[in-house]
Amino acid sequence: MAQGTHQIQSQQQVQTLSPQQILVVKLLELPAVELEDRIRAEILENPALEEGESDSSAEDSLDKNGLDDDSFSDSNEDYSLGDYLTDDDIPDYKLQESSRSKEERAEDIPFSEVTSFYEILKEQLGELNLTEHQLELAEYLIGSLDDDGLLRKSLYNISDELAIYGGIDASEKELESVLNIIQDFDPAGIGARNLQECLLIQIKRKEDSCTKQNEINIIEKCYEEFTRKHWDKIMQRLNLSEEDFQEALQEITKLNPRPGSSMGEAIGRNMQQIVPDFIVDTFDDGAIILNLNNRNVPELRMNRNFMDMLDEHNRNKQNQSKDSKNAMLFLKQKIDAAQGFIEAVKQRQNTLITTMQAIIDVQRPFFLEGDESLLKPMILKDIADRTGLDISTISRVSNSKYVQTNFGIFSLKFFFGEGFTTEDGGEMSSREIRRILKEHIDNEDKKKPLTDDELTEILKKEGFPIARRTVAKYRQQMNIPVARLRK
């Protein structure tokens, strides 16, 4: 051994997931429609599994053959799943249905088979060699694009959302780096943060031409004049002849200010109808009834013929040939896999119900009244503490799941949000702060609009000690311009 080289032996305890636990988590991630597809694929793949109500005699036979439920029992242990699985973040928009009655059920809500905008961009994402962390950020950014294909949210706000909803720590610099990757996707202009950036991305993607640099200069250096059609000012500032300017302008007008629209119906995320995973009915007496929407999800049971064949092999153990033993091994493997899948589906249902019930318990006033201002501050950890489940499990349940209520259909992410402690020790959600902020802006003197500093002082006097930066963030989230543009 070379001098100065030391070999150190250390013992480290590493907790890994069994194939059964990985299956449970994979099923947990799936929304109702995808679960149905997954179950039907499993039925086709495993002849020991079939559709139908469970057969108690088949379960008795399993017990006799040593294939009992103990090996598939639910586990309350916390596992770190990051090394095994990745989240599929879906944009946290909601579909409001103000006129839906309690009698209308989820089966009346069809699901659009159109490939989503999100899925098309994710296919391009899959062609890249990204780290798991980059992939998480990229999927969330894609899910945050609007129907024009632009990113209207600030990276600061997205960083906050990732921390609240996914427990993911991401700086604005990291997000910008990943956004630059998305901006290389097709069609050109996707992922731009405003129209100016959208046009510049498209121009720079074009092949070199005699007008390309002039196009870049017009949009990059004279964008304000361009939007106001001050052509003379642009020509003077850039020292362009009228002929050169007109040629460049003609090329610019060919660009697409809404690159997402070039995907046609595929972008229709807002037109896509959602099949809710949960149905919550609220009644006048204050009762709240929660059900899983399993209308199209087939019930599963063990195949009786397979069980009979296993019994036959067990009765003739003494006189079995090598081929018979191999056949018995095959039978046991398929039966083992079938029972494991059935138990995984049951565990998924139990976990979903437990999580959704905890959300209802915390947000009960909202489910009774439908008033968004009644939503309480709630983060993933709050639900994890209530249910005894791991935060990563709550995150997976909240991802891509929807609940039908008397007041519309909502993403589960809708119910999570940060909160503030008021001066008197009370707790208030950020939604309520935004409502109060909007009221002050709506009632301001339009000749002398309130600045962010003035709004901050007003809120502090009312017992809400929040920073000016937070006031500005909430104003931007509500698409309210700065004071000078509200005159």
Buried b (16+ CB within 10 A) or exposed e, 205-222: eeeeeebeebbbbbbeeb
Please tell me the predicted confidence (pLDDT) of residue 78.
Answer: 37
Q: Which residues 6+ apart lie within 8 Å of 181 measured at CB?
A: 128, 130, 134, 138
* Residue 160, CA atoms < 13 Å, CB-side half-sphere: 14
Contact 396, 25 (CB under 8 A): yes
Buried b (16+ CB within 10 A) or exposed e, 242-271: eeebebbbebbeebbebbbeebeeebebee
Q: Which pairs from 51-59 meet CB under 8 Å and 24+ separation?
A: 51/298, 51/299, 51/300, 51/301, 52/299, 52/300, 52/301, 53/299, 53/301, 54/299, 54/300, 54/301, 54/302, 54/342, 55/301, 55/302, 55/304, 57/304, 58/301, 58/302, 58/304, 58/307, 59/302
Which single residue is written with the structure tokens 């249905």?
Answer: 97
Please tell me the predicted confidence (pLDDT) of residue 86.
Answer: 37
The series of mean pLDDT values per 10 residues for the chain, 487 residues long, is 51 60 84 85 84 58 46 37 35 33 41 54 80 86 80 84 75 90 88 90 87 90 86 91 90 83 48 76 91 81 76 66 72 84 91 95 91 80 90 84 88 76 57 80 86 87 78 79 80
- State the DSSP H helix or E strand holding residue 142, giving kind and residue range, or none if neither: helix 132-143
Cα–Cα dist 146/268, whole Å: 10
Buried b (16+ CB within 10 A) or exposed e, 31-66: bbbebbebbeebbeebebbbeeeeeeebbebbeebe
**CA 152 vs CA 91, 155, 303: distances in Å:** 13, 9, 53
Please classify residue 459 by burial: count the beta carbons closer than 10 Å to its beta carbon, then call 0-12 exposed, 13-18 middle and 19+ buried: buried
Please tell me the predicted confidence (pLDDT) of residue 179.
Answer: 92
